[in-house]
Amino acid sequence: MNAISGVIGFICLISGSQFYWAFVGGVAFFIGRYLGTHYHWVTRELDLIIFSFGLSGMAVMLSIYIRRLMIALAGFFIGIYIFQTLPAEFGWRMDWAAWYLFLLAGLVAGLAVFFWSSWATIMLSTIGGAAAVIQNLSFGGVSDTAIFIVLSVIGLTAQFIFWQYGKTDAEEIER
């Protein structure tokens, strides 16, 4: 399951803005994994994978029809995920954080994605994807901070290229 989560994290890392449905589906996969393991909705590993991919598929289908809402919801949940995961991966203590701080992080991220769609989605999917990769995959003796920085640079570069070359000619003329 960690290898699948690492690959999905990498897909979110490089796909956030132009391939919004992959970002939404990846976040839904992580939600399914969290719900399945923490609330014991499924007991076997294979059932957890099927449950997570099923939730991801439903989110992708919904994102085709209600794009902006689903991207904002994905932003909300990735904001919570980043606030929960990243400090722990860097070895910081999070025992001081209460539930309302997680909710506030999610609200800020969701509203940022809703109002500043492209840039906020690029930043959150890059940071969230890098956090998912370093959380689920082991890189030997290399520090998590170094891997996070390298992955963030790769993600930002890839997404900027996708965003820049994904523009139509009409958008280029308007600038």
Max Cα–Cα distance, the chain, nearest Å: 55
Q: Is 175 a member of any domain? A: no
Cα separation, 110 vs 75, in Å, equals: 4
pLDDT of residue 172 exceeding 80, the answer is no
Q: Is 174 a member of any domain? A: no
127-160 burial: b if 16+ Cβ within 10 Å, else e: bbbbbbbbbbeeeeeeebeebbeebbebbbebbe
The string of pLDDT tens digits covering residues 91-149 is 788 777 788 888 999 999 999 988 887 888 899 999 999 999 988 887 777 888 888 89
The residue range of the domain holding 75 is 2-167
The string of pLDDT tens digits covering residues 51-74 is 999 999 999 999 999 988 999 999
85: nearest Cα among 165, 5, 175: 5
For position 24, what pLDDT does the model report? 93
Full-model pTM: 0.85
The string of pLDDT tens digits covering residues 15-49 is 877 788 899 999 999 999 988 888 888 888 899 99
pLDDT of residue 173 exceeding 50, the answer is no
| DSSP symbol at 59 | H
How sure is the predictor about 167, in pLDDT bands with cuts at 50, 70 and 90?
Answer: low
For position 141, what pLDDT does the model report? 79
Q: Is 35 a member of any domain? A: yes
What total number of domains does the chain contain? Answer: 1
Q: Is 105 a member of any domain? A: yes
For position 168, what pLDDT does the model report? 52
165: nearest Cα among 10, 18, 8: 18
Q: Is 173 a member of any domain? A: no
Q: Is 172 a member of any domain? A: no
For position 96, what pLDDT does the model report? 78
Q: Is 38 a member of any domain? A: yes
For position 1, what pLDDT does the model report? 75
Cα separation, 117 vs 71, in Å, equals: 8
Residues 6+ apart with CB under 8 A from 99: none
